A and B are shown apart, each in its own frame.
Chain A
Amino acid sequence: MTQAQLQETANQPALIEEPGVRNWRDYFTFNTDHKVIGIQYLVTTFVFYCIGGVLADLVRTELKTPEVDFVSREVYNSLFTLHGTIMIFLWVVPAGVGFGNYLIPLMIGARDMAFPRLNALAFWIIPPAGLLLIASLLVDAPDAGWTSYPPLSLTTGQIGQSAWIFCLLLLGTSSILGALNFMVTILKMRTPGMTVHQMPLFCWSMFATSALVLLTTPVLAGVLILLAFDLLAGTMFFNPTGGGNPVVYQHMFWFYSHPAVYIMILPFFGAISDIISVHSRKPLFGYKAVAYSSLAISFLGTIVWAHHMFTSGTPGWLRMFFMITTMIISVPTGIKIFSWLATLWGGKLRLNSALLFAMSFVGMFVIGGITGVMVAAVPFDIHVHDTYFIVAHIHYVLFGGSVLGIYAAIYHWFPKMTGRMLNEFWGKVHCALTFVGLNLTFMPMHALGMMGMNRRISEYDPKFESLNFLCTMGSYLLAVSTFPFIINAIWSWMYGPKAGNNPWDALTLEWMTTSPPAIENFDELPVLATGPYDYGMSNRNTEVDVPLADEREPVLAAGPSSVLRAEPDPNVAANPEDRK
Chain B
Amino acid sequence: MQSQIIDPAKTDLNHHHTAEETASHHEEHPDHRIFGLILFLVAEGMIFMGMFGAYLAFRALLPVWPPAGTPELELLLPSVNTTLLISSSFVMHNADTAIKKNDVSGMRTWLGITAAMGIIFLCGQLYEYSNLEFGLTTNLFASSFYVLTGFHGLHVFIGVTAILAVLWRSRTSGHYSNEKHFGVEAAEIYWHFVDVVWIILFGLLYIL
Contacts and interface: CB of A to CB of B under 8 A. Distances in A.
B54 A248 contact: yes
B5 A112 contact: no
Contact of A252 (B24, B42, B53): B53
Contacts of A218: 43-47, 49-50
Contact of A29 (B2, B43, B46, B57): B2
Interface in A149-207: 176, 180-181, 183-184, 187-189, 192
Contacts of B172: none
Main secondary structure of the interface of B (DSSP, over half): helix
Nearest to B52: A222
A474 B160 CA distance: 57
Contacts of B87: none
Contacts of B143: 229, 235-237
Contact of B61 (A32, A116, A245, A519): A245
Contacts of B47: 218-219, 221-222, 225
Given A29-B2, A221-B47, A242 B140 contact: yes
A223 interface: yes
B20 A30 contact: no
Given A218-B44, A222-B50, A244 B58 contact: yes
Contacts, number: 150
Contacts of A357: none
A236 B137 contact: yes
A215 B42 contact: yes
Given A115-B36, A233-B136, A243 B67 contact: yes
B5 A3 contact: yes
A274 interface: no
B81 interface: no
Contacts of A216: 46
Nearest to B141: A243
A2 to B, nearest CB: 9
Interface string B52-79: 0110011001100001000000000000
B8 interface: yes
B189 to A, nearest CB: 15
Interface centre among A215, A219, A234 (most CB of B within 10 A): A219
A512 interface: no
Given A8-B13, A188-B31, A114 B36 contact: yes
Contact of B39 (A214, A234, A243, A245): A214
A236 B39 contact: no
Given A114-B36, A223-B50, A252-B53, A217 B67 contact: no
Given A3-B2, A229-B147, A245 B58 contact: yes
A214 B43 contact: yes
Nearest to B24: A189
A310 interface: no
Interface string A236-250: 110000111100100
B51 A222 contact: yes
A446 interface: no
Interface string A1-28: 0011001100100000000000000100
B6 interface: yes
Interface in A246-302: 248, 251-252, 255
Contacts of A366: none
Interface of A: 3-4, 7-8, 11, 26, 29-33, 110-112, 114-118, 120, 176, 180-181, 183-184, 187-189, 192, 214-223, 225-226, 229, 233-237, 242-245, 248, 251-252, 255, 519-520, 525, 551, 557
14 contacts: A3-B5, A4-B13, A32-B7, A114-B32, A180-B36, A189-B32, A218-B44, A218-B50, A222-B51, A236-B140, A237-B58, A242-B139, A243-B140, A245-B61
3 cross-chain pairs, A with B, having the tightest CB-CB distances, nearest first: A222-B50, A219-B50, A218-B46
